[in-house]
């Protein structure tokens, strides 16, 4: 009898050990298979993020951090900018360690915060193995505080962009970065909240829908990785909420699903292509919910629908309450803005809304800032910013209306080199140094070749004749 009991106990213990080993091996196999499947989607010049990519990942399940840390650390970089003389050789160039970055493709594409690299002259990236590279800026997006860099390297360790929508409140996450110049520092915490708006982006159309965590983040962590215990990138660490200037338990990261869209657009189109509905909105509070006879204090109130916009064509009206975009609940303004920010001009989205206590839905085809479905974005490349102007391509309506092609000057910075030429916004550049240009990319190619005197020729839509301008680069 006693021997039989011992045998039963041994069998039970053996079974539990076998199940544990099986579960561990299964988890490791799933991670490796997901990463293999993900990598197969990469082409030579295409980021690991295809617009057709279906999310392969769900919320993390391991409860230790060893595997996640070992996979993530090699892909997190240190970033420092070199600033200096603005042309004066008498001033010493200064270098400061400014932040972190995350490698997201094996050919050297790196994501960081825009505020980490702004006002740079030179950007130096140091990998986890201490190799250093000069980086070029592929593009920036001030509306999300993201910057995309590129270094000339191959076969780099990289982080897989996971599905930030799968994150749950209370889930373990790790923050990896370089606080206080301490390279490769890992801290742990939990997801405290999602879709947080803390009003830190200066842009009027800034998109804040942060993941809030209590993982320790300090100066130097900006641009670093927020990963789950599977080692998947769920966010880019961006900000802390503090009265002392140091970590006090509140840190914020840009969700990976928004990051992936920004990175893909910049690599594919040179700038972020952001869809617009053409409405002004506000959160629903208790008083508004009562006035609108809503069952819950949730949703986005449409304060105004602008005429001849995507929203107007879709039949939206003032006082409609939007509570979903393509099946995803949008109970707050940050949630709504994040969902719309994932789409481009020309994309169709289904909007669920309440009107007069009745639940309804409609479909809207998003447009750009010019109220067309063209892929148009204001270019703010460093060479343009240094000269003092922002440019964009002409859209299809403008090309038809003017029967010409060219590059439109959007803004001109006061007291800049361009401002001193007496050029005005709205100027349409058709040639640079006697070479025709049809878009911003062609202009940048010629501009980067130029040294010394640069000669522009073009016209203003409502004024006859050609207008030449000259400046020195």
d(CA 444, CA 21): 57
Does 377 map to a domain? no
d(CA 157, CA 77): 11
Does 214 map to a domain? yes
Domain of residue 405, CATH code: 2.30.42.10
The answer on 283 and 265 residing in a single domain is no
Residue 289 in tokens: 């919910």
d(CA 209, CA 341): 10
From the CB of residue 100, how many other CB atoms can be counted at a distance below 10 Å? 30
Split into its structural domains, the chain has a count of 3
Q: What's phi and psi for 8, nearest 5 deg?
A: -65, -45
Distance (Å) of CA 382 to CA 150, 262, 386, 457: 14, 18, 6, 22
Tell me the catalytic residues. Answer: 115, 145, 222
Residue tagged 């972190």 (tokens): 100
Domain of residue 95, CATH code: 2.40.10.120
The answer on 203 and 178 residing in a single domain is yes
Q: List per-residue pLDDT tens for the chain, 473 residues long.
A: 545 555 555 555 555 555 455 455 544 444 444 444 444 444 444 444 444 444 444 455 566 789 999 999 999 999 998 876 444 443 444 555 589 999 999 999 999 999 999 878 889 999 999 999 999 999 898 889 999 999 999 999 999 899 998 899 999 999 999 877 677 889 999 999 998 887 666 555 678 789 999 988 888 889 999 999 989 999 999 987 766 666 667 889 999 999 999 999 998 888 888 899 999 999 999 999 999 999 999 999 999 999 999 999 999 999 999 999 999 999 999 999 999 999 999 999 999 999 999 999 999 999 988 788 888 778 888 899 889 999 999 888 888 888 888 999 999 999 999 999 999 999 999 999 999 999 999 999 999 988 889 999 999 998 989 999 999 98
Residue tagged 């090309």 (tokens): 399
Q: What's phi and psi for 289, nearest 5 deg?
A: -60, -40
CB 433 within 8 A of CB 420: no
The answer on 252 and 303 residing in a single domain is no
* pTM of structure: 0.74
Domain end marker among 238, 269, 300? 269
Q: Decide: residue 36, CB within 10 A, 0-12 exposed, 13-18 middle, 19+ buried.
A: exposed
CB 192 within 8 A of CB 216: no
d(CA 268, CA 159): 20
The answer on 290 and 264 residing in a single domain is no
Distance (Å) of CA 340 to CA 36, 89, 319: 30, 47, 19
From the CB of residue 283, how many other CB atoms can be counted at a distance below 10 Å? 16
Long-range contacts made by residues 318-321, C-beta under 8 angstroms, separation at least 24?
Answer: 319/292, 319/355, 320/353, 320/354, 320/355, 321/284, 321/292, 321/294, 321/353, 321/354, 321/355
The answer on 429 and 297 residing in a single domain is no
CB 332 within 8 A of CB 343: no
The answer on 265 and 286 residing in a single domain is no
Does 18 map to a domain? no
Domain that holds residue 437: 382-472
Q: Which residues of 107-129 are buried (b: 16+ CB within 10 A; e: fewer)?
A: bbbbbbbbbbbbebeebbbbbbe
CB 322 within 8 A of CB 310: no
């Amino acid at each position: 009898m006693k021997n039989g009991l011992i045998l039963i106990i041994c069998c039970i213990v053996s079974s539990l050990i076998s199940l544990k080993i099986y579960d561990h091996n299964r988890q490791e196999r799933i991670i490796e298979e997901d990463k293999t499947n993900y990598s197969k989607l990469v082409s030579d010049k295409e980021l690991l993020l295809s617009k057709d990519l279906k999310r392969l990942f769900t919320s993390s399940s391991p409860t230790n951090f060893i595997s996640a840390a070992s996979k993530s650390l090699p892909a997190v970089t240190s970033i420092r900018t070199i600033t200096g003389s603005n042309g004066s050789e008498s001033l010493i160039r200064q270098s400061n360690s400014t932040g972190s970055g995350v490698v997201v493709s094996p050919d050297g594409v790196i994501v960081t915060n825009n505020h980490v690299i702004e006002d740079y002259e030179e950007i130096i990236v140091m990998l986890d193995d201490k190799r250093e590279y000069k980086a070029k800026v592929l593009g920036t997006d001030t509306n999300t505080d993201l910057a995309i860099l590129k270094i000339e390297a191959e076969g780099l360790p990289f982080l897989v962009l996971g599905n930030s929508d799968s994150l749950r409140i209370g889930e373990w996450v790790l923050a990896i970065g370089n606080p206080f110049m301490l390279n490769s520092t890992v801290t742990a915490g939990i997801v405290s909240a999602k879709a947080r708006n803390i009003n830190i982006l200066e842009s009027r159309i800034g998109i804040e829908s942060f993941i809030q965590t209590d993982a320790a983040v300090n100066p130097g962590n900006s641009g670093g990785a927020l990963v789950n215990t599977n080692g998947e990138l769920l966010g880019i660490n961006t900000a802390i909420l503090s009265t002392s200037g140091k970590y006090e338990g509140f840190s914020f990261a840009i969700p990976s699903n928004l990051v992936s869209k920004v990175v893909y657009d910049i690599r594919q189109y040179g700038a972020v292509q952001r869809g617009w509905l053409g409405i002004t909105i506000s959160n629903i509070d208790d008083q508004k919910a009562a006035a609108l006879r809503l069952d819950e204090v949730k949703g986005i109130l449409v304060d105004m629908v602008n005429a001849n916009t995507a929203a107007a064509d879709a039949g939206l009206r003032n006082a409609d309450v939007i509570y979903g975009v393509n099946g995803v609940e949008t109970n707050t303004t940050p949630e709504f803005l994040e969902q719309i920010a994932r789409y481009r001009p020309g994309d169709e989205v289904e909007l669920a809304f309440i009107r007069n206590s009745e639940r309804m839905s409609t479909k809207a085809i998003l447009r750009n800032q010019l109220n067309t479905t063209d892929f148009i974005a204001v270019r703010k490349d460093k060479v343009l910013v240094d000269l003092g102007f922002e440019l964009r391509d002409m859209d299809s309506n403008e090309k038809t209306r003017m029967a010409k092609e060219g590059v439109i000057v959007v803004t001109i910075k006061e007291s800049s080199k361009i401002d001193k030429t007496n050029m005005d916004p709205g100027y349409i550049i058709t040639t640079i140094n006697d070479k025709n240009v049809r878009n911003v990319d062609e202009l940048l190619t010629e501009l980067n070749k130029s040294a010394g005197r640069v000669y522009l020729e073009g016209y203003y839509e409502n004024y006859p004749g050609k207008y030449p301008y000259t400046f020195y680069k």
